[in-house]
Structure 1
Amino acid sequence: MPERPPFPGRPAQPPGATYLQYSPDGQRLLVAGIGNFARSFRTGDNSEPDLLPETHEETFAVASGNDYVILGCEDGTVCEYEVPSGDLKQLLVRTTLPIRDVALSPDENWVAVSSDELEIKIVDRHDIEQITILRDHPKPIKHLTYDPSGKYLAASCTNGIIYIYAVTLPEPTLFRTIDGIIKRLETAESATSRCVWHPDGRAFACATPTRDIQVISVEDGAQQRVFSGAHNGDITSLAWSHNGALLASSSADDQLVIWDTKTQTVLKQFNYEKIINVTWQNHGENIFNWTTSQGEVFIIPNFLKDEAHLRLLKGPKVRAPFFHDPLDEKAAAINGRKPLVNGQSKQRDGTPDSLDALLGPEEEFDWIEDDDGAGYLNENGKRPNGHLGEAGGHLPKRNRQDIWQPQVHEPFQPGATPWRGNRKYLSLNLIGFVWTVDQDTHNTVTVEFYDRELYRDFHFTDPFRYDKACLNEFGTLFASPAKDGQPAVIFYRPHETWTARSDSRINLPEGEEASCIALSTRYIVAVTNKNYVRVWTLFGTPVRIWRMKSTPAVTCAAWGDYVMTVGNGPVGADGCTQLMYSIDDVRRDESCQNEDVLALGTAPPESDDEEASLKALFWSDVGDPCIYDSNGVLLSLVHWRTPGQAKWVPLLDTRLLDRLKDGKKEETYWPVAVAAERFHCIILKGGDKSPYFPRPLLTEFDFHMPVCRGVEKGEDDEEETNAAAGARLEEAFVRASTLLGLVDDLVQGLGEKATHSQKTEILKREIDVDKILLQLLAVECREGDDRGMKALEIVALLKDRSGKMVEAAAKVAGRWGRTMLEDKIREYAERRLMGLGDD
């Protein structure tokens, strides 16, 4: 038999589904059900509750304010009533089918309503004619919940999919969908699929078909920690404590379970019968409540008896249980004096406290009580900032954290993604991909290839917890941090070997870890937290070591004998460091480029950063350095073999892709590689910032340089077509010239080692450039005689020195009847033949 609670239940409704919710101030507990009345229980008062006598029957949803309650009923009405009088204030909305849930936004301005209809209605409480309708879901919605900030609305659909809507935008939009987590439930079933938001707003918990409780991070949709093993029946209700330290869950097998959020372990387990809804008192009182299918409400004061459990309930806010919490990484960056991200959040007005990003909003300290009147809290219940001193105080007397610090770019590993849940990609390129799974006590690493006829996939248990990897056609390189007294490790595994031992393991000196690693066909490279660049042969023989001039280090990449490193340089006028790059020839021990500026430009308008950030660094398939920035621009470095002559040239601006011109698609691109004169990437949608599982598909885009030419509107379509053709050919000319320059640089760099096919490639590309110029000349001739000056300039750009292309240009002008231009071209040809130059 189930246990009896320590206090008897209080009759609240006739037998049937009964719902409850606290008012925002925690002073009232509203209870409603199938009766035509509701009850308001006053916190800490055991007398009779206030009765709301004139509500509609069959209430299926409750949302409470401090002095009002909103009830959604079986007859399709959503009404607002005064509390405690119970007077009807207004009918908010009506539907043709039964209401299933209502959710009140944190600012209490909006009410979201779901019913058995195929839509969600969001109603303005203060102007009920203002209604927004959401229809992205194909089935009825069973549950609705706002996150604590009011930014997101989570809708649990009967088709087993969670729909997350971004509702703070002028037009609410679907932010993401999460499939495979909740169970398919009909709207009238007692089991729950509700998304219950953690108080920190970064994640929510929901019941799974396996009767576990899964935590989901909202920003990336990744599965985080799981509460499992305590329920053998369908879960009926979930509730976080006010500070997120405890989680309560009830199930159809008469189990009530109290969990520790940090450890996901069971603290207490009770055998109470027929619980269908549970809630904690929302201001930290040791009061726990639930309703049953018998219409009873249980209000249990002093619910937690154990002193350790009570300390959890009364303690500070606890963060949502992540596998790899981004806030931990931010804390490590600040406390360890590691680089902060470019464009970190701005300082607080008047109190430039650099710990704000770590500590979060002041509301996280609301648990502090000024019980001795010493002034810990001000009249608004907030911490005073007097301990910080005046913003304009004397610097020597102020904390060092208050001193202005430049914004520096954090280090990153090219091709790696951040943790999402317990998974991350360590490397993504055209050879394959490396990914790891955190198993708490160890990691498991999987390496998969696209060409499985040439390479064999492998999988291994990873006790070192490798957090960086590189993959190429010859082998896989891993790096792990120092841990538990063990040194940081660099590990190389070739794909093929002819010896008994097939791998190479390198231990870094004590206190040194790899910030980023790179792998070429000849060398292993590691840039460490000591700002050393260490270079080994593939099987561990040290070759070079030097210290970077621009620090802290950001990233590195290698190709053949060349190593490219990037670090933080001088601070610019915007307070952000300039990124500096160097390219070194390891075999010759020479610098091709030494501490030159990495051209990033300004940040995109939607970003809070002052300057664009570096997203990827890699070498193309023919050995040219490439970068991809936060503006979505792909750039390649030309003339990089000649010291002081290198230039960053944009090959593609993804914001200008034709697929985005209609404005209907909102997507970004994760860079993978540059090969075959195409940009290979992964398309990210739904607010994603990095690829996730299952393995994403690769997409490729042709280069299209952002060459600007205004297309003038003509009197007819033909003039429009000529202008568009001219713009297309101008872009093709600049692009072909740039690619020609890259090949020419390669041949000149190889010298006598250049092959016949490489030299022939230059001649072929010169002819291609001249063909584009002849087509562009024809467009200018069609425009009329007034374009003759530009047409003659185009002729001067021809690469061919034999005179054949210039003769062809004269024929083009003659074909279009431009006799004066034809004469000028022939005159130009004669001067060039006589060696008088192009003037």
Structure 2
Amino acid sequence: MATQQIVVPKYAHTPGLTRLAYSVDGTALLTVGSNRLIRKFTVDSEDEPYSIEHHENDILGVATSRTHFATCSEDGTASLFSMRTNEMESMLVRQSLPIRDIAFSPDGQWVAIAGDETTVKLVNTNDITRIITLPAHRQGVKHVSFHPNGALLATSSADGAIRIFSISSEEPELVKIIEGLSPSVELSDDTSSKVAWHPDGRAFATQNKTRDIITISRGTWSIERSFASGHMGPINDFAWSPNGAYLATAGSDGKILIWDTQTQNIIDKYSYKNVLCVQWHPNQNSLSFTTNQGQMYTLPNIIPAKLDPPFGKSIYPAPLIKDPDSGVSAVRLGEITGDDTAGFGKPYARLPLGSDHDHEYGISELDERNWIDDDDGAGYIPDLVADNGSIDSPGVGRKRGHSFVDDFASNKRRFVSIIKKMQHEPFQPGSTPWKNGRRYLALNSVGYIWTVEQDMHNTVTVSFFDRGLNREYHFTDHFLYDKASLTEHAALFANSGSDGQNSRVFFREHGSLQDSWDLTFHGEGITSIALSATTAVVCSSKGYVRVFNLQGSPIRIYRQSMNSVVCCASWQDFVMIVRNQGDGSGGLVYSIENVKYDETFQKNDVVDVPFDSQLTSLFFSDDGDPCIYDSDGVLLVLMHWRSPLQAKWVPLLDTKAMGRNNPDESFWPLGIIQSKFNCIILKGGEKYPYIPLPISSELDIKIPIYSDTSKVNKTDDKEGSNNSGPDTLELEEQYLRDNVLLQLYKDSALSASGGGGGEDGLEDDQKDEISRRELGIDKTVLQLLHIACRTGQHGKAYGLVSMIYKQQALEAANKIAQRYQMTALAEKINRELEKRLF
């Protein structure tokens, strides 16, 4: 690393938000700030900058083209100025809410304007009456960025969503929405969620939720590379060098880092606090930045002389995993983006838009449930075994010309073979098969553990979605671990002990080996492991469940049955074990124990997975409720699991009924966090996440009341209609969903309080939360009641009244009944009110 340069700052503005932009030719540097001034510096000159007073409030953004510069302000205005005369030429937009960002198209003919309003406007610089309005976003928009060829525009809204619009015509088209990648931010926050297109246009950079910069392929919209573990806090700004060979990032941790884009390694770092905006000089080896103290710095000779300078007419390829241009040091700028006079929507030139990624695992996968071994040469017919592994007809698995009874009598071991085929094989939740010498050992809402196959060992990497919580680490794995479980504080690894080898488990805390421990098991394999905040669980091929504390001391060992363990999960002191049912039906059963107090909550109850489906994941939600996910794409939660004989599986989401209309799409569960299904969406028929990890997504829970809502009568909710309209279906789903979540919360709260005294024994904040949720449910019921009364559905209205929790909601229901002159309903509500009063 180079010695820190001593640079004298220029005090361009008073303390507060500051932004800067170079002119296209690099002769001028413009800054804006909270003192409502536009300062125009002449590069390489000590002269005082030219100052322009125009806006009535803080100036939040500045952008430049060859002939103009534009600014936007908290006062809701965006203005266009002549670069030559510094005079304002036009007011581009005036609106009531602040404008946060502004950007010129590459040809300078259009200006994109974004702010607290949910729409983005494109204004023509030659005719400001020509305005293109992009479709509304869910929240205000913080950043806008043009693709180098001008045909695409990226927007970043406050909810973290990135939208890519095609603007090659004056009717913009939404090309892609990327959600769950960038952090949700306040519009006034310093943290950046912008999109920065690489100069060659084949990828863009953005900040993810773990405070790393990642690149997204323009061709596949998938994550390509990561500039990771550089900053200890959020990143306030970042910028590609003009030739695309370097990336500058400025963090809230007081560091500016310079990265090599091809290796993603840091080549230099600088310590400057409160940096808000960074920008490379377009044709000199220097970097300028501003701080929240109103200072403006310029670092000369930012790239060492022994390396290529960050400017010139050639640009390096974007950092892609499978780059057709790998091995080529640089390509001509004109071959990629065309000249800088390219018009609005000029077609993309020579280089392909994206890499041709091979997402196939290359693994031949046979569904063994559909095969019977023909080991005696008798000619078994495999396709007569049902896909679900059940024996559903006398002819199943028969020899040609023989009845099933004859075959069964003479081939008992054949029947045993069938039964074994119907057993679920053990699996480790969150793990994937090998692909190209790599696989995930664990993958959940905390992070992921992946391993790379070497000649004599493996290399294991432990990564986290929240890099502020833990730093990524690696180690050499000589024991060839094939299972892992990950929590926020530690990781548990296991070698299953196949091929006659002893099995082994290894525990280590993140960031320290001081308290790590390992155990070897002789003569038995390990089928599944689980780690929680208090326990480590190891299930063996002999049916034993061993439970250790986090210091490696055994605290429980038990074997509830000889049926084989399929998988396990743990949360705090609770351990859930899923086993084969053992009766040849192909079913699964589960048990839940509190190992701290040696209590059994549920024992050998059925796991509700259909016979023609497979259990693919088992985990506890963030709130501590057991969840399963099956191969049909259904997510279920176990309600009332703390009460013996009361547990039941409730579907929270059917991913195939979400109306996404993509038969090749599947979902890999990560967990349930704050009532959201955290998952990875797999495209193109993929069954497993590949490396590098695709973008994670958060899906709203939506209880599948009807298997196919498109077949439910959805006539308009008009006066006199007795049919449920689409609004009714949505409200009914919301009511059911909120009730399920309320019951889960009540169960958890009552358990935490010891259960004594029922809800009266809860803490005040728990009672307040229950009351708040009940009030929300009542609002939904009142909406349903309003529709029922308006459409004359008397019977439905009577039933809805009994679903109301609160007295004030009943009083509101009475007013609704009176409004629609439903006197009998009003009388029933009055009786219900009297009953609750006494």
- With normalisation by structure 2, the TM-score equals 0.51
The one-letter code sitting in structure 1 at the alignment partner of 2:814 is A
Give 1:371-390 correspondences, 5 Å limit.
none
Pair 1:543–1:354, CA change in 2 (3 A): farther
Aligned to 1:421, the other structure's residue is in SS state: coil
Aligned to 1:544, the other structure's residue is in SS state: strand
| Aligned equivalent of 1:222 | 361
| Aligned equivalent of 2:693 | 695
Query: Structure 1 residue 448: deviation in Å?
Result: 0.9
The one-letter code sitting in structure 2 at the alignment partner of 1:700 is E
Aligned mates of 1:705, 1:828 — CA distance in 2 = 30
| Aligned equivalent of 2:627 | 626
| Aligned equivalent of 1:670 | 668
| Aligned equivalent of 1:43 | none
* 2:779 paired residue among 771, 783, 786: 771
Confirm or deny: 8 A CA contact 2:591 2:602 kept in the other structure: yes
The one-letter code sitting in structure 2 at the alignment partner of 1:634 is L
| Aligned equivalent of 2:555 | 543
Pair 1:712–1:437, CA change in 2 (3 A): same
Give 1:421-820 correspondences, 5 Å limit.
421-482=436-497, 487-496=502-511, 501-508=514-521, 510-549=522-561, 551-571=563-583, 576-601=585-610, 610-660=611-661, 664=662, 666-708=664-706, 711-712=712-713, 714=715, 723-752=725-754, 755-784=763-792, 787-800=793-806, 803-820=807-824
Pair 1:473–1:734, CA change in 2 (3 A): same
Confirm or deny: 8 A CA contact 2:491 2:508 kept in the other structure: yes
Deviations 1:88-110 (A, max 9, x none): xxxxxxxxxxxxxxxxxxxxxxx
| Aligned equivalent of 2:827 | 823
Aligned to 2:441, the other structure's residue is in SS state: strand
Aligned mates of 1:561, 1:765 — CA distance in 2 = 28
The one-letter code sitting in structure 1 at the alignment partner of 2:361 is A
The one-letter code sitting in structure 1 at the alignment partner of 2:777 is V
Report the structure number with the largest CA radius of gyration.
1
| Aligned equivalent of 1:188 | none
Query: Structure 1 residue 475: deviation in Å?
Result: 0.4
Aligned to 1:527, the other structure's residue is in SS state: strand
Confirm or deny: 8 A CA contact 1:343 1:576 kept in the other structure: no
Aligned to 1:408, the other structure's residue is in SS state: coil
Aligned to 1:612, the other structure's residue is in SS state: coil
Deviations 1:784-834 (A, max 9, x none): 2xx12221211111122xx32211110122223333322332233234434
Query: Structure 1 residue 387: deviation in Å?
Result: 13
The one-letter code sitting in structure 2 at the alignment partner of 1:487 is N
1:405 aligns with 2:432: no
The one-letter code sitting in structure 2 at the alignment partner of 1:674 is I
Query: Structure 1 residue 523: deviation in Å?
Result: 0.5
Aligned mates of 2:632, 2:765 — CA distance in 1 = 37
Aligned mates of 1:791, 1:394 — CA distance in 2 = 61
Query: Structure 1 residue 396: deviation in Å?
Result: 6.8
The one-letter code sitting in structure 2 at the alignment partner of 1:440 is D
Aligned mates of 1:442, 1:349 — CA distance in 2 = 37
Aligned mates of 1:715, 1:390 — CA distance in 2 = 58
Query: Structure 1 residue 770: deviation in Å?
Result: 1.4
Aligned mates of 1:440, 1:502 — CA distance in 2 = 29
| Aligned equivalent of 2:371 | 345
Confirm or deny: 8 A CA contact 1:353 1:401 kept in the other structure: no
Aligned mates of 2:479, 2:819 — CA distance in 1 = 73
Aligned mates of 2:593, 2:717 — CA distance in 1 = 56
Aligned mates of 1:451, 1:466 — CA distance in 2 = 24
Pair 1:483–1:618, CA change in 2 (3 A): closer
Pair 1:402–1:388, CA change in 2 (3 A): farther
Query: Structure 1 residue 683: deviation in Å?
Result: 0.8
The one-letter code sitting in structure 1 at the alignment partner of 2:750 is Q
Unpaired runs of 5+ residues, structure 1, are 1-159, 162-177, 185-215, 224-321, 328-340, 358-384, 602-609, 835-839
Aligned mates of 1:393, 1:349 — CA distance in 2 = 17
Pair 1:756–1:715, CA change in 2 (3 A): closer
Confirm or deny: 8 A CA contact 2:717 2:791 kept in the other structure: no
Query: Structure 1 residue 685: deviation in Å?
Result: 1.1
Confirm or deny: 8 A CA contact 2:462 2:474 kept in the other structure: yes
Aligned mates of 1:758, 1:716 — CA distance in 2 = 38
RMSD in angstroms over aligned alpha carbons? 3.7
Deviations 1:3-59 (A, max 9, x none): xxxxxxxxxxxxxxxxxxxxxxxxxxxxxxxxxxxxxxxxxxxxxxxxxxxxxxxxx
Query: Structure 1 residue 485: deviation in Å?
Result: 6.9
Aligned mates of 2:681, 2:714 — CA distance in 1 = 34
Aligned to 1:659, the other structure's residue is in SS state: coil
Unpaired runs of 5+ residues, structure 2, are 1-218, 221-319, 327-355, 384-397, 756-761
| Aligned equivalent of 1:313 | none
Bigger RCO (CA 8 Å, 6+ sep): 2
Pair 1:476–1:404, CA change in 2 (3 A): closer
Count how many residue pairs are aligned between Structure 1 and Structure 2.
Answer: 468
Query: Structure 1 residue 779: deviation in Å?
Result: 1.1
Aligned mates of 1:181, 1:353 — CA distance in 2 = 50
Confirm or deny: 8 A CA contact 1:621 1:674 kept in the other structure: yes
Aligned mates of 1:775, 1:764 — CA distance in 2 = 17
